């Protein structure tokens, strides 16, 4: 698995320490183990998890601004856990409404010693943060409109951003952004050995 991860990383500009690589692999091992009982992801092959979950998550790291992030609808911790591993100086709140997923995240936090994550079980529209976030991240929402509607209360009003991980660029959704929201950037993402388009859509409150 380490060889596989290193071969994937070699096709990018991402440089990680051995400890970070080992944490990512340990996370995949836990995901694979728990998946058999809890059905956390439809991907069953650990090597495919490296491509479709790990690499797909960490390629967005260079484009994140700030140090306090919330991963909304994180599921089994995607993209929040891989990002927390490669971005140890940032803090990630991992929000999900399902107890079994949050139990898994707490176990990951314990076994990997991740001090920069906080798993929380809550529906996003009911979650009131003590401190607002530099960035709201999600790859789970059906539409940008849903993300903005349910997460509008989470980012910092001045510099906060929404980071939506998308496949094909949702031109129709971008054309219907609500007032008070502007498009900050659209970044095509290249993930080694992953077919199909991937985009990071960055939105900002005006």
Residues whose CB falls within 8 Å of the CB of residue 128, separated by 6 or more in sequence, listed in order: 153
pLDDT for res 185: 97
Count of domains observed in the chain: 1
* Structural domain that includes position 123: 1-205
Q: Is 132 annotated as a binding residue?
A: no
Confidence of residue 131 (pLDDT cuts 50, 70, 90): very high
Q: Is 124 annotated as a binding residue?
A: yes
Q: Is 73 annotated as a binding residue?
A: yes
117-121 sheet: strands from edge to edge: 117-121, 91-96, 68-72, 135-138, 161-166, 199-205, 181-188
* Whether the bond into 79 is cis, omega within 30 of 0: yes
Average pLDDT over residues 51-76: 97
pLDDT for res 141: 82
CATH code for the domain of 81: 3.40.50.150
pLDDT for res 111: 97
Please check the confidence at residue 193 and state whether its pLDDT lies above 90: yes
Please check the confidence at residue 132 and state whether its pLDDT lies above 90: yes
Q: What is the pTM of this model?
A: 0.96
Please check the confidence at residue 23 and state whether its pLDDT lies above 90: yes
- Residue 138 contacts residue 147 (beta carbons within 8 Å): yes
**Quick one: what percent of the chain has pLDDT higher than 90?**
94
Q: What is the mean pLDDT of the chain?
A: 96
Q: Is 83 annotated as a binding residue?
A: no
Confidence of residue 157 (pLDDT cuts 50, 70, 90): confident
Q: What confidence tens digit (pLDDT) does each residue in 66-119 have?
A: 999 999 999 999 999 999 999 999 999 999 999 999 999 999 999 999 999 999
pLDDT for res 17: 98
Q: Is 16 annotated as a binding residue?
A: no
Phi/psi of residue 60, each to 5°?
A: -85, -10
């Amino acid at each position: 698995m380490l060889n596989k991860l290193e071969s994937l990383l070699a096709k990018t500009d991402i440089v990680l320490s051995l400890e970070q690589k080992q944490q990512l692999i340990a996370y995949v091992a836990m995901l694979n183990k728990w998946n058999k009982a809890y059905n956390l992801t439809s991907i069953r092959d650990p090597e495919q998890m490296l491509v479709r979950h790990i690499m797909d998550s960490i390629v967005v790291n260079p484009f994140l601004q700030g140090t306090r992030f919330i991963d909304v609808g994180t599921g089994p911790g995607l993209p929040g856990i891989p990002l927390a591993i490669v971005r140890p100086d940032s803090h990630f709140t991992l929000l999900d409404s399902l107890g079994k997923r949050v139990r898994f995240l707490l176990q990951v936090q314990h076994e990997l010693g991740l001090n920069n994550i906080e798993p929380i079980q809550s529906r996003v529209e009911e979650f009131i943060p003590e401190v607002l976030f530099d960035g709201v991240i999600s790859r789970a929402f059906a539409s940008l409109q849903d993300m903005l509607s349910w997460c509008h209360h989470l980012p910092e009003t001045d510099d906060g951003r929404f980071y939506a991980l998308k496949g094909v660029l949702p031109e129709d959704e971008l054309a219907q952004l609500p007032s008070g929201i502007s498009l900050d950037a659209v970044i095509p993402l290249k993930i080694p050995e992953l077919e199909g388009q991937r985009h990071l859509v960055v939105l900002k409150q005006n």
